[in-house]
Structure 1
């Protein structure tokens, strides 16, 4: 098949390199979390609840940039694992809130340490200035594009 000089090579795209690194970072973190029977998506919910306990599912969905259905499915899985609890609102039985269970609250720092370890594995070779520059560039792209959804994988 002849080379089509009108088609740019994959490696000429920044998106290719971002995806390349992101996929490896994400997959390594997912493997670390597997040992704790938690997915990356479940971890993001747990970490969010760690800072803001007793939050309504709709508010959690808005805060994370996810659909209410996605939050409901993640909450159901975490409840089944005993890592979060759903509590009815005493004033309005149709409303409820989510919070970490004691085992879930105890697990978050351990999972956070795994995230820190994963970051060190992939980014410790960068100087503090390089890390800050990379973070600044990525955050500028997020802001310029108005990105809101928290990455779950």
Structure 2
């Protein structure tokens, strides 16, 4: 029996993620920020990371991608870099005041956009979905429990 595209969980999960991201991107575009740039600023604002390597780990991209993202955000005045006085290879990234204000607005927008989809679920269904997503991530070698704190 052939494996049909529409029987693929990967297809449907990807389609859902794309739809959710496209809708949020419309809000991001009004502020000249991309989805990956928002992720970097969100992680910095909520003090989950402050080095390129740790930011990369938090948002699931490689370090060189973070460097390019930080370059763009720095040009926009949304983040700054601080080099270690003893080891110039060591860099800390900090969110600026304007960056924090933008993240506050975008965090609220992200919550609104997510709620549009989650309102279809009963709280027990949401918790089950979260648990099942975490199981699938673990099966793929990604441990999300320390990152996914809130229900």
Q: Which residue of 1 aligns with 2:3?
A: 8
- Structure with bigger RCO (C-alpha 8 Å, 6+ apart): 1
What is the TM-score normalised by the length of structure 1? 0.84
Unaligned runs of 5+ in 2: none
Instruction: Indicate if the aligned counterparts of 1:54 and 1:97 stay in contact, CA closer than 8 A.
Output: no
Q: Which residue of 2 aligns with 1:143?
A: 138
Deviation at 1:62, TM superposition (A): 3.5
Q: After TM superposition, what 4+ stretches of structure 1 lie above 6 angstroms from structure 2?
A: none
Q: 1:139 to 1:127 in 2, by over 3 A?
A: same
Q: Which residue of 1 aligns with 2:95?
A: 100
Equivalenced residue count is 145
What is the TM-score normalised by the length of structure 2? 0.85
Unaligned runs of 5+ in 1: 1-5
CA distance in 1, matches of 2:23, 2:3: 30
- State the Cα RMSD in Å: 2.1
CA distance in 2, matches of 1:57, 1:16: 31
